[in-house]
Amino acid sequence: MEENIKICHVNNGINLIWQRLCHKKVLVVLDDVDDVRQLKNLAVGKNWFGFGSRIIITTRDECLLVKNKVDHVPYRIELSNYNEALQLISWHAFMKNHPEKD
C-alpha cells in the first residue's frame, strides 16, 4: 500500500517484484519485448509467481523467446493495414470513422 516507491537500480526492482508477488496468482503482460534483459528482469522463472499465474509476452522477435528457452505457445496475429488502423484509432479516439482533416 506504499505510494511513490523509488527504485534506483534494476536489482532493487527485481527484489521488490519477487518479494511482493512470489506467492500470489498474477497476470503479467510484457508488451513489445525486444531485449533479453526485459525477460530476465521481469519474468525470471516459472516459480517467481504463485501457482496458476500467467505471463503474456508480446514481441515481434519470436527468436528472442526461442533462444532464451521461454516455454511458449505462439499466437500470431495479422497486422492491420494503415487504413484499418486509422479507422480503429478514430473510432476509439473520436467516435468517428475517420479523423477530421485538421
pLDDT tens per residue across span 41-79 = 776 666 778 888 888 888 888 888 888 877 777 788 887
SS3 category, 31: coil
pLDDT tens per residue across span 79-89 = 778 888 888 88
Determine the residue type at 21. L
Rounded to whole angstroms, the Cα distance separating 19 from 66 reads 28
Q: Which helix (H) or strand (E) segment is 85 a member of?
A: helix 82-94
- Burial of residue 49, with CB atoms counted within 10 A of its CB: 0-12 exposed, 13-18 middle, 19 or more buried: buried
Q: What is the pLDDT of residue 25?
A: 92
Domain boundaries, the chain: 10-74
Closest CA to 49 of 26, 30, 29, 72: 26
Residue that wins the pLDDT comparison between 35 and 2: 35
Query: What residues pair up with 57 in beta bridges, in sequence order?
Result: 30
